[in-house]
Chains A and B, each alone.
Chain A
Amino acid sequence: MIDLLNALVVLSNYVLIPALAYGSQLALGALGVTLIYGILRFSNFAHGDTMAFGAMVTILVTWLFQGWGISLGPLPTALLAIPFGIAATALLLLTTDRLVYRFYRQQKAAPVILVIVSMGVMFVMNGLVRFIIGPNDQRFSDGERFIISAREFKKLTGLSEGLAFKTTQGITIVTAVIVVAILFWFLNRTRTGKSMRAFSDNEDLALLSGINPDRVVMVTWLIVAGLAATAGALYGLDKSFKPFIYLQLLLPIFAAAVVGGLGNPLGAIAGGFVIAFSEVLITYPLKKVLGYLLPDRFEPDTLVQLLSTDYKFAVSFTILIIVLLFRPTGLFKGKSV
């Protein structure tokens, strides 16, 4: 019985909780990608760096607040700064749209052209972020580090395995749930949200129904700014902030969006968790867990690890390829890619 509990605790500590937090971050990122794909009809490669920008502004404002002595007590000050990150990101995205994407939209440019254009935007944004905050690691978390730390957990339960639940993980999950709830309420219940869905469903018809495309585009960018800045700041808070990390994050985020079905918000969330759990579970050695569960003589002496952690990104890539080959519309029916 104790063994079973210990196994469960190990699994939660190294797989369940990290994957839940990581999945929430991926889901928020993938939602942004999927909204742009559904409404503006292109794969936005600049999304990772949009997240980096939002996180960067959040960090700068956090430092300012910390300098002024403003804090949230046990919660990270960054939570107060996220709205500023969102506002700045919204400004950046609307400016980019005005300067770059609008031109190609009016030309009715093919999606592939917009993809290439978004890569250009990606490089510019990446350069901007590195120019402002530098290419290095930045730490900006403060407040209580743990909701419960491994040591406290061991003392509390008397189990030999510890379970750590970081404040940032808790915040990530809670924030993701709130943001997703608001987004879905917005898309399904409000007129603006419905216009966006209509626009995504059938652009021609939306136009001939009197829906103003400029407004839909603007609102889309605003929502994407909210999602990207929140996802970026949460990721930086939970892990660490480094401009290039967000570039690497693009792969699992796109994998999540595609796996769920591009253009389908529900799919993006499911995809985020599918990718996160696959990445974590496939690279996690089950030795300890099995050690608790199996009788002593069966205890494995290898690590029982399906794939070395070096190949973490290969996992998303493989899932991406498999989905594209066998189910191009994703788990939930999205637009086929």
Chain B
Amino acid sequence: MIKVENLHRHFGGFHAVDGASLEIREGSITGLVGPNGAGKTTLFNVIAGVLPPTSGQVTMAGEEITGMSPHELFHKGLLRTFQIAHEFSSMTVRENLMMVPGGQSGETLWNTWFGRKRIADEERALQAKADEVLEFLTVDHLRDEKAGNLSGGQKKLLELGRTMMVDARIVFLDEVGAGVNRTLLNTIGDAIVRLNQERGYTFCMIEHDMEFIGRLCDPVIVMAEGRVLAEGTIDEIKANEQVIEAYLGTGLKNKGAAE
């Protein structure tokens, strides 16, 4: 599905992603783990078009997508969530969800004035969809709340909900589980599995909670110091000497390079 080849992303002299190569298989729920500062979020940012790569290549189903802009990738079915939840704070939760499917008819000025019937139909469908998603995530009571007022965990749910508004092909989740209580975490986990099975979403998720990863993901990819260190099932990873060492010696080399 997604293939990353020898990807580099440098910030000045600092190599946040330093020659990473990996593949995400279609239909999988791939876990991405690694110590803090390993370059996971940066890798997501480059794949999703938020940051241009310094060098290297990203392909999606055989098509090169390196350096495409986020909204173009969105329309190709590549979605992501943010490690620090983002929301349109002045809009309600439902409006936040309804914002998602970009490129609707209402977005051209012409239709704004003359395509009112079509827009109305679309809006109605969208609204129904948004309500369905909220119900799926068991937060329909928050529907008319201003998104800025949500709790940290609820915002994470909103992040996930956003990916459900359209038919995505691959979704990158950046620590959706962090800062979320057990019950809610289980809800999120169930939702991911269901989306994967029922709708055929491919997932790639960053997570620090090994138990959560172990329950959902196969395979698991380990990153450290901007590179891929290992790949395999959760048990293989847990037994890997290199991985254990990487977690203990967090970022020592990166630190040196930064100075």
Residues of A within 8 A of B (CB): 186, 190-195, 197-198, 201-202, 204-213, 215, 219, 222
How many Å from the CB of B23 to the closest CB on chain A? Answer: 23
Complex CA distance for A186 and B116, rounded to whole angstroms: 13
Q: B19 contacts the other chain (Cβ, under 8 Å)?
A: no
| Contacts A186-B112, A191-B119, A202-B86; A207 near B70 (Cβ below 8 A) | yes
Q: B178 contacts the other chain (Cβ, under 8 Å)?
A: no
> Could you tell me if B91 and A201 are in contact, using CB atoms closer than 8 angstroms?
yes
Q: B87 contacts the other chain (Cβ, under 8 Å)?
A: yes
How many Å from the CB of A268 to the closest CB on chain B? Answer: 15
Complex CA distance for A59 and B75, rounded to whole angstroms: 45
Complex CA distance for A222 and B119, rounded to whole angstroms: 21
Type the 1/0 row for B79-102, where 1 means its CB is closer than 8 Å to any CB of A.
Answer: 110100011111100010001111
- Known pairs A211-B99, A222-B109; list 8 more (Cβ under 8 Å): A191-B112, A194-B99, A205-B82, A206-B99, A209-B99, A212-B107, A215-B107, A215-B108
How many Å from the CB of B175 to the closest CB on chain A? Answer: 16
Some 19 contacts from A to B, beta carbons below 8 A apart, are: A186-B112, A190-B112, A191-B106, A192-B109, A193-B112, A194-B91, A201-B90, A202-B87, A204-B86, A205-B82, A205-B88, A207-B69, A207-B74, A208-B79, A209-B74, A210-B74, A211-B102, A213-B71, A215-B107
Shortest Cβ-Cβ A-B pairs, 7 listed: A191-B106, A210-B102, A210-B74, A207-B70, A205-B86, A201-B88, A211-B102
Closest to A195 in B: B107
User: Which residues of chain A are within 8 angstroms of B9 by Cβ–Cβ distance?
Assistant: none
Complex CA distance for A210 and B167, rounded to whole angstroms: 13
User: Which residues of chain B are within 8 angstroms of A192 by Cβ–Cβ distance?
Assistant: 106-109, 112
Closest to A213 in B: B71
Q: B142 contacts the other chain (Cβ, under 8 Å)?
A: no
Which of A193, A194, A198, A208 has the most C-beta atoms of chain B within 10 angstroms of its own C-beta?
Answer: A208
User: Which residues of chain B are within 8 angstroms of A206 by Cβ–Cβ distance?
Assistant: 88, 99
> Could you tell me if B109 and A202 are in contact, using CB atoms closer than 8 angstroms?
no
Type the 1/0 row for B41-56, where 1 means its CB is closer than 8 Å to any CB of A.
Answer: 0000000101000000
Residues of B within 8 A of A (CB): 48, 50, 69-71, 74-75, 79-80, 82, 86-91, 95, 99-109, 112, 119, 123, 162, 166
> Could you tell me if A210 and B86 are in contact, using CB atoms closer than 8 angstroms?
no
Which of B79, B88, B106, B112 has the most C-beta atoms of chain A within 10 angstroms of its own C-beta?
Answer: B88
How many Å from the CB of B156 to the closest CB on chain A? Answer: 14
User: Which residues of chain B are within 8 angstroms of A193 by Cβ–Cβ distance?
Assistant: 112
Complex CA distance for A211 and B112, rounded to whole angstroms: 16
User: Which residues of chain B are within 8 angstroms of A204 by Cβ–Cβ distance?
Assistant: 50, 70, 82, 86
| Contacts A204-B86, A208-B70, A212-B107; A194 near B95 (Cβ below 8 A) | yes
How many Å from the CB of B129 to the closest CB on chain A? Answer: 14
Closest to A205 in B: B86
Complex CA distance for A214 and B209, rounded to whole angstroms: 39
Closest to A199 in B: B88
Complex CA distance for A211 and B86, rounded to whole angstroms: 15
How many Å from the CB of A222 to the closest CB on chain B? Answer: 7
Specify which of B87, B90, B102, B123 is in contact with A197 (CB 8 Å cutoff): B90
| Contacts A191-B112, A191-B119; A210 near B71 (Cβ below 8 A) | yes
> Could you tell me if B50 and A209 are in contact, using CB atoms closer than 8 angstroms?
no
Closest to B85 in A: A205
Complex CA distance for A179 and B34, rounded to whole angstroms: 54
> Could you tell me if B88 and A202 are in contact, using CB atoms closer than 8 angstroms?
yes
User: Which residues of chain B are within 8 angstroms of A222 by Cβ–Cβ distance?
Assistant: 109
User: Which residues of chain A are within 8 angstroms of B162 by Cβ–Cβ distance?
Assistant: 209
> Could you tell me if B103 and A209 are in contact, using CB atoms closer than 8 angstroms?
no
User: Which residues of chain B are within 8 angstroms of A205 by Cβ–Cβ distance?
Assistant: 82, 86-88
Complex CA distance for A186 and B80, rounded to whole angstroms: 29
Complex CA distance for A204 and B49, rounded to whole angstroms: 11
How many Å from the CB of A309 to the closest CB on chain B? Answer: 40
User: Which residues of chain A are within 8 angstroms of B70 by Cβ–Cβ distance?
Assistant: 204, 207-208
How many Å from the CB of A203 to the closest CB on chain B? Answer: 10
User: Which residues of chain A are within 8 angstroms of B80 by Cβ–Cβ distance?
Assistant: 208
User: Which residues of chain B are within 8 angstroms of A197 by Cβ–Cβ distance?
Assistant: 88, 90-91
